[in-house]
Chain A
Amino acid sequence: MAMDGACESPAEKGGETEVSDEAAAGPGATDADGHPEEADADGDGDLKEAATEEGELKSQDISDLTAVEREDSSLLTPAAKKLKIDTKEKKEKKQKVDEDEIQKMQILVSSFSEEQLNRYEMYRRSAFPKAAIKRLIQSITGTSVSQNVVIAMSGISKVFVGEVVEEALDVCEKWGEMPPLQPKHMREAVRRLKSKGQIPNSKHKKIIFF
């Protein structure tokens, strides 16, 4: 159930492993019903959501919720069983919302111009070559790594590239210049992201008190 914390982005069936939603992945995005989408990184988001849905937060509810989460039916009181059914309904409602979102995406993509279609195709299809990433990681660790690690690392790197490019485009626009992006935009983007803490840097020693 903790996996619900990461939003179930609508993936096109058919083996496409790239998922497009930046909007869904952003924190605070709302789905069609106006409920804040559970894009929290911590599983507690689910618990709080369920509690506010019920409108009450008694201690019995909390222990019921934990029992429901552990799916320990022996501990489920009738109230807890009701909670479990409600959570199930909420999951179905969420799936229906995902289907809505899939439909909306389809309508959007069908109205793209050719240039936009090109760009969208590049956005979804571009990926880092798994072999090179695997070689790179293995050259750092010295031991072999599993396939899942390579998948995770390539995915994160692509998101990282997206963050840098988007920030650089912001910088470019702010300075009143046009793409293609120049190195000065990239460097300014990196400087900004560093101050936001988006770029990991373990070389700098943080001095807290002085």
Chain B
Amino acid sequence: MADEEEDPTYEEENEEIGGGVEGGQGKRKRLFSKELRCMMYGFGDDQNPYTESVDILEDLVIEFITEMTHKAMSIGRQGRVQVEDIVFLIRKDPRKFARVKDLLTMNEELKRARKAFDEANYGS
């Protein structure tokens, strides 16, 4: 959305300056602008990252998720996305693999803790 900047020095991917009829990623509303800014700062960028960089990252993330989803749909149970498929696709990338395992383990732990907490409440 180049209309946020007065000086469109940097061209955005898939964006026509001045807006034209643009299908796909150009016209879609920005889904993750706020969260991506915080994330970029957390990972080492400036406290106020450039909007164009945030937009590029958002497009990248959406493309990444789309690719993963399509791949996951084509393996295992066709037409559905399941966790095992994601874990399988990610197996070669050590960082992402470890992260997914951690998240799922911790989610299980939290669910168990909540369940135990609720049962304790119900008992008393």
Chain A residues near B (Cβ < 8 Å): 3, 5-7, 9, 11, 15, 17, 19, 22, 24-27, 39-42, 119-129, 132-133, 136-137, 140-141, 143, 145-146, 148-149, 151-153, 155-166, 168-169, 179-187, 190, 198-202
Q: List B28-66 residues whose CB lies under 8 Å from chain A.
A: 31-32, 35-36, 38-46, 48-50, 52-53, 56-57, 60-62, 64-66
Option from B38, B50, B105, B106 in Cβ contact (under 8 Å) with A182: B50
Check B43 against A165 for contact (C-beta < 8 Å). yes
Is the CB–CB distance between B86 and A180 below 8 Å?
no
Judged by a CB distance under 8 angstroms, whether B91 is at the interface is yes
Find B97's partner among A41, A122, A148 (CB 8 Å cutoff).
A41
Interface residue? B102 (CB, 8 A): yes
Interface string of B94-124 (1 = CB under 8 A from A): 1111111111111100100000000000000
B interface: dominant SS: helix
Known: A17-B106, A140-B69, A200-B67. A26 touches B94 (CB 8 A): yes
Our pick among A15, A156, A185 for the contact of B100 (Cβ within 8 Å) is: A156
Q: Determine whether the beta carbon of B50 is less than 8 Å from that of A180.
A: yes
Could you say which residues of chain B place their CB within 8 Å of the CB of A6?
97-98, 101-102
Residues of A contacting B: mostly: helix
- Chain B residues whose CB sits within 8 angstroms of the CB of A19 once the complex forms: 99, 102-103, 106
Residues of chain A lying within 8 A (CB to CB) of residue B103? 17, 19, 151-152, 155
**A152 vs chain B, min Cβ distance (A):** 5
With a cutoff of 8 Å between Cβ atoms, the chain B residues found around residue A3 in the complex are 101, 105
Residue contact B107 to A151, C-beta cutoff 8 Å: yes
With A125-B38, A141-B73 known to touch, is A41 a contact of B94 (CB < 8 Å)? yes
CB neighbours of A187 from chain B (8 A) = 56
Partner of A126, one of B39, B79, B99: B39
Inter-chain residue pair count (beta carbon < 8 A): 199
A200 touches B106 (CB 8 A): no
Residue B83 lies at the interface, judged by CB distance under 8 Å to chain A = yes
A169 touches B44 (CB 8 A): yes
Task: Give min CB distance, A44 to chain B, whole Å.
Answer: 12
Q: How does the 8 Å CB contact mask read for B72-103 relative to A, with 1 for contact and 0 for none?
A: 01000001111100110011111111111111
CA distance A183 to B45 in the complex (A): 13
Contact of B95 among A22, A126, A199 (CB under 8 A): A22
Seed contacts A41-B93, A126-B42; 4 additional CB < 8 Å A-B pairs: A17-B103, A153-B68, A183-B50, A198-B93
Contact status A129-B93, CB under 8 Å: no
Q: A179 contacts which of B38, B44, B82 (Cβ < 8 Å)? A: B44
Instruction: State in angstroms the CA–CA spacing of A104 and B89 once bound together.
Output: 33
CA distance A200 to B42 in the complex (A): 24
Other-chain residue from A153, A158, A166 in contact with B86 (beta carbon distance below 8 A): A153
In the complex, 30 of the A-B residue pairs with CB atoms within 8 angstroms, ordered by the A residue number, are A9-B102, A11-B106, A15-B110, A119-B42, A122-B41, A124-B42, A125-B42, A126-B35, A126-B38, A128-B32, A132-B32, A140-B66, A141-B73, A153-B86, A156-B96, A157-B61, A161-B40, A161-B43, A162-B39, A164-B57, A169-B44, A179-B44, A180-B45, A180-B49, A181-B49, A181-B50, A183-B53, A185-B53, A186-B57, A187-B56
